[in-house]
Structure formats: structure tokens, C-alpha cells
Amino acid sequence: MAVSCALWSCEDPSRWAAILARHGEVLRARAGPHGQLEALDRWFREDLPAAIKSRAEKHVTREELERLLAWKLAVRGFHVGGRNLVTTPPNPTWPQRGRFRPRLQQLVATNPPELVVQCSAAAFRHLPHMQAAITELCALRGVGPATASAVLAVGAPEVAAFMSDEAVAAVPGLPAPRYTLKHYLLYLDQLQERATALSRDSASGLWTPHGVETALWTWAVGQKLCPYLLPDLSPSLGTPEDTKPAKKRRTQAE
């Protein structure tokens, strides 16, 4: 947790931006030889937002919800097999707080397609009232606050953020991580405040809660798997060099 908090204590938006720029490289290190995580993440960050935005009313389909759940589990280190089904527990060398629950995907698949569209559309209409939006999505089988947060983050990144283990652990002052609506709202409030503060001092554009979460995930995972890719957070650096990765050093991945 202390490693993740190192970024949280940094108030320089240029350093946050430098870390965010390393997301793709850190994700490749996390994905390993299988590569499914890279494809799922590209879909999550590019294709799915475009699909949601193109609709007359924002919503996700059941097929998209199933694939989004596969993305969420893959991000947490679970191996994704054929048809995006999770087939094995996570790599034991990676820190995990969530339980291995392969039945979640079967539960999500039992939701009627029209109900997924109905509930997700209602959730987006509730925004920015996050409690009502999350509650609406959690009416679906197999969907909890973390999965619901991913749906809202991809469709409304300006107000929502995914409830990733790494980002939750990075926010100081929160109670012990729990996958509850109350915990998510406390966490999101902090990310919204940080996005506002970074945007106020940024020369490169507005920050969203979704962007803050992605940067925190990149920093935490990168510190464990490929710290040589990450920029230095030392406050003594004040030149463009601070956006370059630190010199590669011999580090055993945890």
C-alpha cells in the first residue's frame, strides 16, 4: 500500500500523466504470454466506449456485460480462456484480495438480454447520482459494485471510476477494502476530488476519475512487475526528463 500511496501523495499532474502514458507497457507485463488481457483492455478502453456513445440511449448489452466481466477478472490476474471464460485462478505471485469465483460469468449469462439493456440504461440515466446508478446495475445477477463501477466508468468516465483493488488500496484513509456500495462511494469521492485538483493544475487537459484510477493501477502494478518502466516521482526533478522511464535495473518481479 505504501508504494501505491507514493503516487497519491504526488500533486504534479505532469508526473501523473507520465505514469498514465506507461499503462500499455505495464499492461503487457501483466498480461504475460497469453495476451488475452491486452485484447480485452483495448476493447474496454476503445471499442466499448464508442459503442455506448453511438447509441441513442446509453446502455450495454448482455454480451458486452459478459465480456466486461471477463476484462475485470483478467485485470485481477485470472486467466481468460476460450470465449473469454475464466479458466484458472490468478498467478500466485500477484497480490490478490478478490476470491476466485468462476460462477460469476455463468450468473451474468442467465440475465435476460432485454433486462441488461433496461437496467444499464436506467443506471446511466441516474447519473450523476452514483448510489442509484450502482444499485440499478446490481439488480442484475452476478453484478456487484465493482462490476457495476466498470460499466459506469467506461460509459461515463467523467463521473465514475472502476473499483480496482490497486486504486482502492492507494487511497489513504479508507477503511479495509470491501466490495460494497458504501466503500465504492467513499473511494469514488476521493478520486473525483483528485481529478478536479489535477485538472486545475494541468497543462495537458482535464482529468477524470477513470483516468486517475488507471494511473493508480499502472503505478501499483508497474512497481511490482516492471518498475524500470516508470518515471521517477522525486520532487527534485523539474525537467522533461522526468517523463522518461527510470534506467532499467535488475529487479526480481514479485
Sequence-ordered alpha helix ranges (H) in 21-172: 23-31, 36-42, 48-54, 62-75, 103-109, 113-126, 130-137, 145-155, 165-170
The helix-helix angle for 209-225 and 13-20 (nearest 10°) equals: 70
Q: 183-215 pLDDT, tens per residue? A: 999 999 999 999 999 999 877 789 999 999 999
Q: What is the pLDDT of residue 202?
A: 76
Q: 9-39 pLDDT, tens per residue? A: 999 999 999 999 999 999 999 887 667 899 9
Q: 33-46 pLDDT, tens per residue? A: 667 899 999 999 99
Mean pLDDT calculated for residue range 127-131: 97
Residue 248: pLDDT above 60? no
Q: 86-108 pLDDT, tens per residue? A: 444 444 433 333 444 568 889 99
Q: What is the pLDDT of residue 101?
A: 58
The three grid cell numbers given for residue 254, joined into one nine-digit string: 514479485
**Are 95 and 76 in contact, with CB atoms under 8 Å apart?**
no
